[in-house]
Amino acid sequence: MEQVAQVSSLATTKYRRMSNHLNPKSDPNQPIVYQIRVKSHLSPDWKNWFDGLTIAIEENGDTLLTGPVIDQAALYGLLKKVRDLGMPLISVNPVETSRPDVAEVKP
């Protein structure tokens, strides 16, 4: 039982280290902010379903989901939710943040 806990602990640490490799200046234990674009309109009522991501409806018929994602497993979980709702996925992009309170799209 202890070995499983140890392995699980090491795996968790590994994911934490990987979670912010795109922005080496920041704390590697901080989640990466992602923008997920889907071809569909979602009301802001879906915010809890998408783990608190911000929902922005665009004029062209797309919805932009934006927010921090703790690790790859959480990202895959969000993408699974998009799939389960039958919404066409347009893009998934990490957002480079220079300050914790400001997010800019990475060029």
SS3 for 45? helix
Q: Which CATH number fits domain 2-105: 1.20.950, 3.30.450, 3.30.70, 2.60.40?
A: 3.30.70
Domain ranges for the chain, please list them.
Answer: 2-105
Name the band, by pLDDT with cuts 50, 70 and 90, for residue 43: confident
How many residues make up the chain in this entry? 107
Report, as an integer, the average pLDDT of 51-75.
94
Please determine, for residue 70, whether its predicted confidence score (pLDDT) is greater than 70.
Answer: yes
What pLDDT was estimated at residue 86? Answer: 93
DSSP code of 44?
G
The Cα–Cα gap between 16 and 12 comes to: 6
